[in-house]
Amino acid sequence: MRYMLLIYGDEAADANAGPEEWQAVMEAHNAFGAEARERGMNPQGDALQPTSTATTVRRRNGALTTTDGPFAETREQLGGFYILECQNLDEAIEMAGKLPLGETDSVEIRPIMEFD
């Protein structure tokens, strides 16, 4: 089954990270991807631009509207994602635990709906 691991964190804190800290995080993500590939999980994923670059699209009364930014103000922002092919939720949780997360970061795990 495919699972999406949605990585949430504090953009402001990330913006204050020094080059050495960013290098360590990138190396940890590279190691995560390498392990997922070695385990046959066919990893896909990427980092996202900050929420200040987001556009939200809504349909109201048949008309589309767009607004700058995310749908709602939050303490955590979606910063990136991985899609992994895991045997079950337990394996997805195991892999989420290997992501380089700060003390206030979180990972939401969602099974991907498969259509025939």
For the chain, what are the domain ranges? 2-47+75-111
Beta-bridge partner residues of 61: none
CATH T-level assignment (fold) for domain 2-47+75-111: Alpha-Beta Plaits (3.30.70)
Return the pLDDT at 20: 93
Segment 36-87, tens digit of pLDDT: 999 999 999 999 998 889 988 889 999 999 988 766 667 788 999 999 999 9
Return the pLDDT at 70: 66
CB 54 within 8 A of CB 69: yes
Return the pLDDT at 75: 75
Q: What global pTM score does this model have?
A: 0.87
**Tokens 């892999």, residue?**
95
52 secondary structure, DSSP code: G
Return the pLDDT at 102: 85
